[in-house]
Every structure is written in C-alpha cells, then in structure tokens.
Amino acid sequence: MKQIDPKTLFRQSVDLGDLTETDESFGDLPQTPRADTRLSQQAIEVAALFSDRPISRRLLTGSVRTLEFCALTAVGWATLAGGDGLSATAHTVLPPLAAAATMLFVQAFDGYQIAAFRSYSYQLGRIAAAWAMVFAALVALTWVSGQEVGLQRDGTALVRWFAIGLGLFAAGRALLTRQVTSWTRDGRLERRAVIVGGGKLAEDLIRSLEAQPGNDIRICGIFDDRTDDRSPSMVEGYPKLGTISELVEFGRRTRLDMLIVALPLSAMARVQQLLRQLWVLPVDIRLSAHTDKLRFRPRNYSYEGALPFLDVVDKPLADWDAVSKRAFDLVIGSLALIALTPLMICAAIAVKLDSRGPVFFRQKRFGFNNEVISVWKFRSMYTDRTDFDAKTLVTKGDPRVTKVGRFIRKTSIDELPQLFNVLVGELSLVGPRPHAVNAQTEDRMWDVVVDGYFARHKVKPGVTGWAQINGWRGEVDTPEKIRRRVEYDIYYIENWSVLFDLKILALTPFRLLNTENAY
C-alpha cells in the first residue's frame, strides 16, 4: 500500500476557530459507545487506508540487534576454530563478548535508529568504525593476555573474522536499507495517531509535531464532539472525521497506535469523560501538555522530540510482550494439541454416535479489538435446537443439550477444538473468555450491563482465563456475574506476564473439577 495522507486527500479551505484553555463546554458524553456506532463515509474511507498492520519500530531495531549479534558470534566461533594458540575458554567467550561490545558501540553511534536504517552510507561508516574499535581492543587484549589469536601462530584468523564480519554487516545493512525504504514509502514504519479535540490547541499540536526532526507520528484525522466554530471541519489540513463515540468504532477498524488528547489539563471534567470512553481501545493514550501552564516533574512526562505528553494509558501486550505471548501460545498450544488428540478423537466419536449432525460447532464471538471471529467447539446441542446467536442462555437440565453434550460441557472438553483457534492466532491460551456477539442477561446486551465492557477485548480472548480460575464460569443469569467476570478480565490484562499465564494454565485442570455452574 502506498503511503496516503488524509491531509492531502481531504484538504479544503476553512476558517480555523479558536479554543481557549478555560472553555469547559463539551456537551454530554455517553458512558460507553455501542459497537454498532455508524461512521461517516469519509471516516470509513480513511479507516480503510490504515487497515494494514504497521511494523513495530522496537521490534525491528531489537530484531536487527539480535541477528547481528548472532551472526558476528557465529562467524567468530567458525574463524577462530583453527587457531591453536587460543584456549577453549577464550574461543568460547571472545566472540560473544566482541559481538556484544560491537552492539554497544553501534548503539552509541546511533546505528540502531530507524533514521540510520534509511541511509546506507551513514550506517555503514559508523558500523565499520565500531567493528574496528572492537578489534583494536581485542588485539590489545590478546597480546597482553598472551593469547596470540592468529597474530603469530595463525596470521589470518583475526583478519578473516574482521573481514567476514564487516562483509556481513555490509550485505545485511544493504538489504535492511532497501526494506526499510520500502516500508517507509508504504507507511508501515509509522505510529498512527488520532487527535482528540479540535480548534486552536489541535492546530498548535499538529504544527509542533510536524516540526519535530525525525517525527514518525502519522495523524489519521481528528475527532471532536463540538460542531461550532471552535472545532472546524479541517485543522491544519486534517479532516474532522466524527465524534468521540464514532472514534471508538474508528479505532476498531483502523490499526491505530496512539490517541493524543488535545485538551487543556485544566479542563479535567472533560478529560475524564473522554478517558471513560476511550480506554476500551488497545492503544496508547497521551495528553498533550505542550501548551499547558500546569507543570509536573520531568519524570511525569514522555517526549516526542521536544514535545511533552502525559502518559495516561499504555497499550497492553505491545512489542516484545506480544511476541513472547504469541511464542508461548504456539509452543504450549502445539504440545497441548498433541497430548490431547486422543481425548479429542474420543470426544468426536461420542458426539457423532450420540445424535445426528456435525461433530464441530462454530459460533461468532468477539475477538481482539472487538473483531468477530468463529470459535470452534464440539457440538453439545441437538442440531435442530442449536443456538448460533447465543440469545438464550444454557441452563441446568436444558433440553437442547445432548447426553454427551452435558458431560463435555461440564468438563470443558467441548472447548478443546479452540486450540486450533489458538494456533491460527485468533485466540490465546490464556485471556478473557470470548463471549458470543449477542450474549444477553435479562434481555440486555452485556456491553449495556457493564460500563467499559469492551475493555476486555484489548487483548486476544483465551481458552481459559483468570475469571474462570476464580469460579466465574458457566451460566451468566444476573448482571453481577458478568460484572465480576469483567473485573477479573481487566485485572488479568493490567497484570499480564508469562508467569501469570503459566499459573492460570496450571490451575485450570483443578478448577475444572468444580462443575457447579457448568451446564
């Protein structure tokens, strides 16, 4: 996808209004936007432009470091293997130490910045200098320690290591520069942001952001509830795409990274109203502080260039945390599938023999960021009574459930096919349980029953979860039960770690022994 700018597509001449810092009028804001909020055609078109997944800059720079460290270490071990003047310990330790020192020097020379990746000559000169400095130190060390690594007994060992290492750097960085240039052109190496609030504050913020050297924040548009002259339809060339309620729906359609609230910190009531709506999205939320008279200690701010921001909400499971969790799901999920295959085969045969119809059942449920996914289960109801929309809760002694269905539901064996959802990336092993899209309690949708319900979709749903471990599984027939589930789900999201996932997985088989609420 070519890089497309809403500022270019939707530029038009408008008169910019003025917003003063003491203005408190913002209108009444709803508690939680519904999932069916409609967007304007303009917002839909912009959302489509940014629907692809951007590349994490932290993941990219971290991956480059890791690959270069491994490559230099491997080359060192290979080239020094024939050096008979080098002890086994030195042969094992020197290459990784030299590679680590090189990484530190390259970092000090800004060689792991995205801006450096775009310029081949810039990065290659600094890398060659770092590699040469490490080798100069290595030669001095080997002479002092008496380990003449190829300088006397094998005159080419160090030379080969240096030359091959530099050649790898040159070839690898050439490929990296080409790829980064392509990603930059296609808009994949940007942080996509929406400005919340319009008028003069938004205008000043946009100008300041675009003036920052190396700025990688790409503004997708502006959202503001006001419709008067203080919030015009275009600010600094960027269109106002809708209201705050519509922003939540826009955030579910678009791969956003950040929401920047361009409102004065003195207008705390307005800011709190906004945050109650926007915290359900899996994005970073920042308050612009560059024009505020209120000043906090420097450690309270984060900076984009020289612009100060207050960090309000951080995206959960970002960057390397997301990689760790996905690797955990793939490894443990694959092992679980192998171990449980005999049980799943027996369950499939039992379902087929018990009643007519397919073995598997698929149901539409909410996934990450409110996306609708099809979750796999073993069929536990009679085919002609299956409730695909989950509008009617399963109760104790429900006549729709088959004999085998009652057993596999009580033991959660019916959930085992969801391991396939885990392997394709739709579910995680551990996370908030995926709820059916039309799930209701007392004829009310669950997002109506619980304010902030959709915050549980800030991460992938899971086959098991913290709420289920604490007894909140089975029938949801009262508002209190769904509220408690959501509370535990939010706790899990805010306190996630790999060890926490391992704890939940370890406790799951024991908690399944309690079948009191499982029908």
Residues 391, 441: Cα–Cα separation, whole Å? 9
Q: Which residue has the tokens 């290595």?
A: 138
pLDDT at 74 over 90: yes
Q: Are strands 258-261 and 462-464 parallel, antiparallel or unpaired?
A: unpaired
Residues 174, 123: Cα–Cα separation, whole Å? 10
Sorted by where each begins, the domain ranges of the chain are: 9-38+190-313, 57-185, 320-511
Give the residue-averaged pLDDT of 90-96.
83
Condensed to tens digits (0 to 9), the pLDDT of residues 479-516 reads 888 899 999 999 999 999 999 999 999 999 988 876 66
pLDDT at 399 over 90: no
Classify domain 9-38+190-313 by CATH architecture: 3-Layer(aba) Sandwich (3.40)
Q: For the chain, what percent of residues have pLDDT higher than 70?
A: 83
Nearest to 444 by CA among 403, 482, 406, 498: 482
**pLDDT at site 307:** 84
Residues 426, 74: Cα–Cα separation, whole Å? 36
**pLDDT at site 392:** 66
Give the residue-averaged pLDDT of 315-320.
88
Condensed to tens digits (0 to 9), the pLDDT of residues 173-188 reads 999 999 999 888 888 8
Local structure of 438: helix, strand or coil = coil
**pLDDT at site 329:** 96
Contact 323, 59 (CB under 8 A): yes
Condensed to tens digits (0 to 9), the pLDDT of residues 201-247 reads 889 999 999 888 878 889 999 998 877 677 788 888 898 999 888 99
**pLDDT at site 294:** 53
**pLDDT at site 378:** 94
Tokens at residue 334, please?
């694959």
